[in-house]
Amino acid sequence: MASSTLICNTEPWKDLKAHVDDIKKTHLRDLMNDADRCKSMIVEFDGLVLDYSRQRAFQDTIDKLLTLAEINSTEDRSVLHVALRAPRDKVISSDGKNVVPEVWKVLDKINEFSERVRSGSWVGATGKALKDVVAVGIGGSFLGPLFVHTALQTDPEAIAFAKGRQLRFLANVDPIDVARSITGLNPETTLVVVVSKTFTTAETMLNARTLREWISAALGPQAVAKHMVAVSTNLTLVEKFGIDPNNAFAFWDWVGGRYSVCSAVGVLPLSLQYGFSVVEKFLKGASSIDQHFYSADFEKNIPVLLGLLSVWNVSFLGYPARAILPYSQALEKFAPHIQQVSMESNGKGVSIDGVPLPFEAGEIDFGEPGTNGQHSFYQLIHQGRVIPCDFIGVAKSQQPVYLKGEMVSNHDELMSNFFAQPDALAYGKSLASQVRKQLNVSRTKGEPVEGFNYSTTTLMTKYLEAKSPIPSDPTTVKMSVAELKERHLTATTTVNGLRDRLRQKRLLLLDTDVSAYAKNAGRSAVSFGQTDLVCCRTLQGHTGKVYSLDWTPEKNRIVSASQDGRLIVWNALTSQKTHAIKLPCAWVMTCAFSPSGQSVASGGLDSLCTIFNLNSPIDRDGNLPVSRLLSGHKGYVTSCQYVPDEDTHLITSSGDQTCVLWDVTTGQRISVFGGEFPSGHTADVLRVAYPIYSSRYLIHFIVSNHWWRSSPALFWGILCVSINRSNSKMFVSGSCDTTARLWDTRIASRAVRTYHGHNGDVNTVKFFPDGQRFGTGSDDGTCRLFDMRTGHELQVYYQQHGDNDVPTVTSIAFSISGRLMFVGYSNGDCYVWDTLVAEVVLNLGSLQNSHEGRITCLGMSTDGSALCTGSWDKNLKIWAFGGYRNVVSP
Ligand X SMILES: O=P(O)(O)OC[C@H]1O[C@H](O)[C@H](O)[C@@H](O)[C@@H]1O
Closer residue to ligand X (CB): 82 or 424: 82
CA-based radius of gyration for the chain: 33
Q: How far is the CB of 78 from ligand X (least distance, A)?
A: 16
Q: What is the dihedral of CA 81, 84, 89, 94, to 10 degrees?
A: 40
Q: How far is the CB of 345 from ligand X (least distance, A)?
A: 9
Structural contact between residues 104 and 262, judged by C-beta atoms closer than 8 angstroms: no
Q: How far is the CB of 267 from ligand X (least distance, A)?
A: 15
Strand order in the sheet with 855-860: 533-539, 876-881, 866-871, 855-860
Q: What is the 3-state secondary structure (H, E, C) of 757-787?
A: CCCCCEEEEEECCCCCEEEEEECCCCEEEEE
Closer residue to ligand X (CB): 341 or 533: 341
Q: How far is the CB of 232 from ligand X (least distance, A)?
A: 8
3-state secondary structure of 559: strand
Closer residue to ligand X (CB): 255 or 837: 255
How far is it, in rounded angstroms, from Cα 728 to Cα 622?
37
Closer residue to ligand X (CB): 201 or 610: 201
Closer residue to ligand X (CB): 251 or 881: 251
Burial degree of 248 (CB within 10 A; 0-12, 13-18, 19+)? buried
How far is it, in rounded angstroms, from Cα 759 to Cα 212?
70
Closer residue to ligand X (CB): 204 or 351: 204
Residue nearest to ligand X as judged by C-beta position: 139
Q: What is the 3-state secondary structure (H, E, C) of 319-384?
A: CCEEEEEEECHHHCCHHHHHHHHHHHHHCCCECCCCCECCCCCCCEEEECCCCHHHHCCHHHHHHC
> Which of 284, 288, 265 is closest to 149 using CA atoms?
265
Closer residue to ligand X (CB): 204 or 764: 204
User: Strand runs (DSSP E) across 508-587, as ranges?
Assistant: 533-539, 546-552, 557-562, 566-571, 577-582
Closer residue to ligand X (CB): 255 or 887: 255
From first CA to last CA, the distance across the chain in angstroms is 85
Per-residue burial over 436-456, b = 16 or more CB atoms within 10 Å of its CB, e = otherwise:
bbeeeeeeeeeeeeebbbbbb
Binding stretches for ligand X (CB under 6 A): 138-141, 196-198, 201, 204, 257-258, 344
* CA 85 from centroid of its chain's CA atoms: 33
Structural contact between residues 551 and 860, judged by C-beta atoms closer than 8 angstroms: yes
Q: How far is the CB of 758 from ligand X (least distance, A)?
A: 56
Closer residue to ligand X (CB): 56 or 197: 197
Where on the phi/psi map is residue 635: left (φ > 0), alpha (ψ -120 to 50), or beta?
beta
CA distances from 367 to 138, 327, 332, 335, 559 (A): 20, 11, 9, 5, 47
Closer residue to ligand X (CB): 202 or 508: 202
Q: How far is the CB of 77 from ligand X (least distance, A)?
A: 14
Identity of residue 385:
R
How far is it, in rounded angstroms, from Cα 442 to Cα 464?
45
Structural contact between residues 858 and 809, judged by C-beta atoms closer than 8 angstroms: no
How far is it, in rounded angstroms, from Cα 669 to Cα 651?
10
Closer residue to ligand X (CB): 207 or 599: 207
Q: How far is the CB of 258 from ligand X (least distance, A)?
A: 5
Closer residue to ligand X (CB): 143 or 723: 143
Q: How far is the CB of 204 from ligand X (least distance, A)?
A: 5
How far is it, in rounded angstroms, from Cα 555 to Cα 812?
23
Structural contact between residues 858 and 844, judged by C-beta atoms closer than 8 angstroms: no
* Helix or strand run (H / E) with residue 663: strand 658-663
Q: What are phi and psi of 851, to 5 degrees?
A: -65, 160
> Which of 140, 457, 147, 485 is closest to 309 using CA atoms?
457
Q: How far is the CB of 139 from ligand X (least distance, A)?
A: 3
Closer residue to ligand X (CB): 79 or 573: 79
Closer residue to ligand X (CB): 201 or 271: 201
